[in-house]
Amino acid sequence: MSGPGRTESRTGRIRTEPPIRTRALTKQYGDLTAVDNLDLEVRAGEIFGLLGANGAGKTTTILMLLGLSERTSGAVRVVGFDPARQPLEVKRRVGYLPDSVGFYDDLTGRQNLRYTARLNGLSGAVAGEKIEMVLDQVRLADRADDKAGTYSRGMLQRLGIADALVKDPNVLILDEPTTSIDPIGVVEILDLLRGLVRDRGVTILLSSHLLSQVQSVCDRVGIFAAGKLVGIGTVAELAARFGEEDAHVEVGFEGTSDSAVAARLEEVLGAIPDVTEVRRGSHALEPWTLVVRPADAAIRVREAVLSVSARDGLHLTSIRSVTASLDEIYSKAIRAAGLSSGAHRPPSKPAAGGKAVA
């Protein structure tokens, strides 16, 4: 870790500064506020998802983090440096995959990467090894000597990740890494990102408007709307804050095709406190759904299901809580922010949430 990255924490322990931190970061284009008082903190070794619709200000934020766009006000520290003052220090430590990345069509994938390596002061055998390694990592080694012009969108995206990795970054910033890639490709890329965090301790900030796609891979997410973070935390935390008032518990039982068994089940399950509705599966093998209100009663309900099945000799086959999907959380968070937007800061303002989590 570089010198300026260290700070003395209150406990006296040496603590490393978070790789990415913004304070009241603001960007205005004329009257339009693209990024509005953004407080964001990405911790070392995590995958942070910046989620929001197109035009929410994600790319603008990313460009400011890299020092490629001037901020209107606020403060930014990336890997211990201010990108507006020391852009080169930031850029040599941060790998960046731009939205809809492009390569020189007339050069091969390998030649494209070699150019990037040379711009980063790597050349000769060292660069060659490095390039070989990252090509392997993104599984492009067999196509590396074809012209980049012949690559599919998904391959370009993978080459883009390889390109960002050539410089051996501490932090990877990926703008829409999964857009315009087929579902299998998405899984591959997300696996790759997980692996990078695990094997190399890279910190990743990725942006996406496809929430459900990146839900699985992000340690924490920030929900971005109209230049503001309207929610930040793990998916579970956000679900607790922005999820429906109801929680859902899925339960499976044997013999539900028998109408007598089903009727008795319905009665028993409906009697559990806080269960407001019992929904049968649409066919015999599908689990049933218990609608629980309030949502935080879900744990009690699960325990109750276990005990009543033991008591009444019901043949429980499966039980699980269904967390709200990120899409659901997202629309809820936006609505929450939209309702309270005005002179006052919305109660769900991210800054508070961010600190509570930290």
Instruction: Give alpha helix (H) positions in 201-287.
Output: 211-215, 235-242, 259-270
Q: Does 130 bind other proteins (CB under 8 A)?
A: no
Q: How far apart are CA 139 and CA 134, in angstroms?
A: 8
Least CB distance to other proteins at residue 147 (A): 12
Q: Pick the stretch among 118-126, 177-185, 223-231, 268-276 that binds other proteins (CB under 8 A).
A: 118-126
Restricting to residues 218-277, which ones interact with other proteins according to CB under 8 A?
219-220, 233-234, 236-237
1: which 2 tokens?
């870790």
Q: How far apart are CA 105 and CA 61, in angstroms?
A: 29
Restricting to residues 144-163, which ones interact with other proteins according to CB under 8 A?
160, 163
Beta carbon nearer to other proteins, 44 or 53: 44
| CA 244 and chain centroid, separation | 21
DSSP state of 333: H
Which of 9, 72, 73, 121 is close enough to bind other proteins by CB under 8 A? Answer: 121
Which of 25, 57, 96, 337 is close enough to bind other proteins by CB under 8 A? Answer: 96
DSSP, residue by residue, 89-144: HHHTTEEEE-TT----TTSBHHHHHHHHHHHTT--HHHHHHHHHHHHHHTT-GGGT
Which of 72, 105, 277, 355 is close enough to bind other proteins by CB under 8 A? Answer: 105
- Count residues contacting other proteins (CB under 8 A)? 54
Least CB distance to other proteins at residue 171 (A): 10
Q: Does 326 bind other proteins (CB under 8 A)?
A: no
Calculate the alpha carbon distances from 98 to 171, 177, 309 in Å.
14, 8, 54
| CA 358 and chain centroid, separation | 17
Helix (H, G, I), strand (E, B) or coil at 279: strand
Which of 38, 76, 122, 278 is close enough to bind other proteins by CB under 8 A? Answer: 122
Which of 93, 143, 302, 349 is close enough to bind other proteins by CB under 8 A? Answer: 93
Q: Are 278 and 270 in contact (CB under 8 A)?
A: yes
Which of 36, 99, 244, 250 is close enough to bind other proteins by CB under 8 A? Answer: 99
Beta carbon nearer to other proteins, 106 or 267: 106
Helix (H, G, I), strand (E, B) or coil at 75: strand
Write the interaction track for other proteins spanning residues 67-86; mark x where CB under 8 A is met and - where it is not.
-xx-----------------
Q: Does 209 bind other proteins (CB under 8 A)?
A: no
Least CB distance to other proteins at residue 318 (A): 21
Single-letter amino acid, residue 167: K
Which of 49, 52, 57, 98 is close enough to bind other proteins by CB under 8 A? Answer: 98
Helix (H, G, I), strand (E, B) or coil at 2: coil
Least CB distance to other proteins at residue 319 (A): 19
165: which 2 tokens?
């990795």
Helix, strand, coil fractions of the chain, as percent rounded to 5:
40, 25, 35
Chain residues in the site for other proteins (CB under 8 A): 1-2, 15-16, 43-46, 59, 63, 66, 68-69, 88-89, 91-94, 96, 98-106, 115-116, 118-122, 160, 163, 167-170, 197, 199-202, 219-220, 233-234, 236-237, 357
